[in-house]
Amino acid sequence: MYKRILPVLVAAILIGLTANASQTRKVLFIGIDGTRSDALQQANTPNLDAMFAAQGLSYDAWCAGITISGPTWSSMLTGVWFDKHGITNNSYGGSNFNQYPYFTTLAKQVKPDLYCAEVCEWPPLIDDVYNDNFNLRLHTPDGQGATTCSVASTVLANDSIDFMFVYFDQVDLAGHSSGFSPTNPAYMTAIENVDSSVGVVMNALHNRTNYANEDWLVIVMTDHGGTGNGHGGNSDAERHIWWIANGNDLQHVTPSGADPGSYNSLIVGIFTPASVDTVKLRQTPVHTDVAVTALHHLLFDTGNNPTDNPLWSLDGKSWLATAAGIQSVEDKIQLKVFPNPASDYVAIYFTNNEKQNVTATLFDMQGRQVQSSNQIITTSKMNMSLKGLPAGQYQLSLKVGSDVVSKSLIIQ
Ligand SMILES: [Zn+2]
């Protein structure tokens, strides 16, 4: 069965490389307010788990801004920190959305016909934002995830949707009423309820009539955690968050998870860049990365890299595998084969700093597996016997952990 499926897989990969270019690039951003990383990891969340297993990225992300909803959602949707977008609390006073708008406005400077929609439970996030260029803004009742996912599913059935933001507030409300803690059953139940709502939204996404011809990037993130019955401070419980992303061209590099520190130091509202380690900030998913990654995905086929645009002056970074300055899988693995052309054997060289499981597989040009070696390896070289194989061109595929790279190999 393996050998029958494999040529289809190889063909699918080859077709995929060309078909991707013609697929319409779209983004779904799901926001879950007030969800601690430790609580999310312990809750029973099959829908988020499935997304996490499929792609990643990290249960170790950090709120590097103010641990309050207004400033954090603004950073996620504008791609800049609060010194630029101006929002330091939930009144949305001092906002600077004309100079630093939602990324949807920036996207439409390049692709004016993009259709952008939001379904949101928390009124300030709709009512107090301007210059976001959403085509459709729908309020749903606060904390009513079942209604929100149902409305969002209806909107997602619309073929013309290019960006969709869906926001759930139930977890934060549970935290405020009875405690932000993995030991609070009401808080954990709220997380599990929202996970079910996420499942409904994802079903609606997969059921889109044109889904096969679309290239969706899905990002799920929270704004902050909490401690006791609130948040707004700099404790780990408030700052330790997570991010989940799912898409065809996200980088597979595991983020370091190192805490970069917080801009929200000493006095809330005073911007103190010195308190943040900018190297760690680049290695960890943070709020401003949401807008930049989403924008990069939407505009990728136009050649626009959002971080290169001086007029936009964005603070976040892109987590697409193709983003400048981010290591590709090829760069990470550094696969080399020697000799090539080969005859009796080939030596395979690679980088395996994390000492992961390594599998080398050789395919012929019909996509049939003709040879395979599999080992847990602590070195950076393995040999493969080629004895008895006919002369010709082959494809050597190397899997290191979850990363896969390949190279063509000639046998003489
Ligand atoms: Zn809150």
pLDDT, the chain, mean: 86
- Please, which residues bridge with residue 382 across strands? 348
Residues 114/136, Cβ–Cβ less than 8 Å: no
Scanning 320-390, the segments in alpha helix (DSSP H) are: 329-333
User: SS3 for 229?
Assistant: coil
CATH of domain 24-308: 3.40.720.10
Give me the pLDDT at residue 324, please: 45
Higher pLDDT, residue 51 or 315: 315
CA of 36 to the centre of ligand 1 (A): 12
Query: Cα of 91 to ligand 1 centre, how many Å?
Result: 13
389, pLDDT greater than 90: yes
Cβ atoms of residues 172 and 33 within 8 Å: yes
What sign for the dihedral angle of Cα 291, 297, 298, 303? positive
Going from the Cα of 334 to the center of ligand 1, the distance in angstroms, rounded, reads: 45
Beta carbons of 243 and 219 less than 8 angstroms apart: yes
Tens digits of residue pLDDT in 142-183: 999 999 999 999 999 999 999 999 999 999 999 999 999 999
Fold match, 24-308 / 329-411: no
Ligand 1 centroid distance, CA of 224 (Å): 8
Q: What is the pLDDT of residues 127-139, one digit of tens each?
A: 999 999 999 999 9
* pLDDT at position 6: 36
The yes/no answer on whether domain 329-411 falls in CATH 2.60.40.3080 is yes
Cis peptide before 341 (omega within 30 of 0): yes
User: Do the Cβ atoms of 27 and 163 come closer than 8 Å?
Assistant: yes
Q: How confident is the model at residue 408 (pLDDT cuts 50, 70, 90)?
A: confident
CA–centroid distance, residue 106 to ligand 1 (Å): 28
Strands 116-120 and 136-139: parallel
Please tell me the distance between residue 142's alpha carbon and the centre of ligand 1 in angstroms.
12
Residues in the chain: 412
pLDDT of residue 159: 93
Angle at 323 between CA 352 and CA 281, to 5 degrees: 75
Give distance in angstroms: CA of 223 to centre of ligand 1. 9
Confidence of residue 274 (pLDDT cuts 50, 70, 90): low
Which amino acid makes up residue 67? T
Average pLDDT over residues 201-219: 95
pLDDT average, residue stretch 360-370: 83
| 171 C-alpha to ligand 1 centroid (Å) | 9
Alpha-carbon torsion 240, 246, 251, 254, what sign? positive
Q: What mean pLDDT do residues 220-241 have?
A: 96
pLDDT at residue number 327 = 53
CA 34 – ligand 1 centroid, Å: 6
Question: Which residue type sits at 395?
Answer: Q
Per-residue pLDDT reduced to its tens digit, 100-118: 999 999 999 999 999 999 9
Domain limits, the chain: 24-308, 329-411
- Region 4-19 average pLDDT: 36
Q: How many percent of the chain have pLDDT more than 70?
A: 86
Listed ranges 185-194, 250-259, 388-397; the one with the highest mean pLDDT: 185-194
Decide: helix, strand or coil at residue 342. strand
**How much is the average pLDDT of 338-352?**
87
Distance 178 CA to ligand 1 centre (A): 12
- 101 C-alpha vs ligand 1 centroid, how far in Å? 23
Q: Let me know: does 169 contact 122? Beta carbons within 8 Å.
A: yes
